[in-house]
Amino acid sequence: MRYFLLSFIFLFSACSIKNYELTESRIVTIKTPKLKFSDIGYLRHSREALELELFIAGHVFKRIDINHLICVSDEGCISKEGFNSKYLNSAYPPNLLQNILLGLRIFDGANLTKSSFGFTQHILTQDVDIKYVVKAKEIYFKDRKNHILFKIKDISR
């Protein structure tokens, strides 16, 4: 019985709740052909994982977990490339969503212009026409060719 209990604890400890190091409340606007959202969201992250929890009228609308896969609360887990193909655009690099949510450079820093407020990237290829601006309290990503928009504003303080 003791070994059964130890085995049970060991097996299910891998499915335990993640401990995120940072939780931030944000106003999140997402417009893609498959997902439209504009309301409050919580961004939680640690070195290993990232979670975006979207709320409408105080109720969880969608939860997106990102680590080596992207898990969408009502649809299961898929690869980052699969997520891009399904929700965004297959021309995007695998870590695009994660980098946008964290305000990191995209497309390996292509056309990056630093400024006193943060940085800007303009990326124009046959597949994308992106304007990406990162400021201290705001992230803006717009792809005009694919009709995709992310606006993330910090509402704390």
100: amino acid identity, one letter: I
Looking at residue 129, its pLDDT comes to 98
- Report pLDDT digits (tens) over 4-40: 444 444 444 334 445 556 788 999 999 999 889 999 9
- Report pLDDT digits (tens) over 63-112: 999 999 999 988 899 999 999 999 999 999 999 999 999 999 999 999 99
Residue listed under structure tokens 């097996």: 11
| Nearest CA among 78, 72, 89, 82 for reference residue 32 | 89
Residue listed under structure tokens 């709320």: 55
What distances in angstroms separate CA 104 from CA 43, 60, 96, 118, one per listed residue? 14, 26, 9, 10
pTM (whole model) above 0.85: no
- How is residue 73 written in tokens? 């609360």
CB 134 within 8 A of CB 4: no
Q: Give the mean pLDDT of 127-154.
A: 97
| Residue 62 buriedness (CB in 10 A; 0-12 / 13-18 / 19+) | middle
Could you tell me which residues come within 8 angstroms of residue 19 by beta carbon, excluding any fewer than 6 positions away? Answer: 46
Helix (H) or strand (E) holding 87: helix 80-87
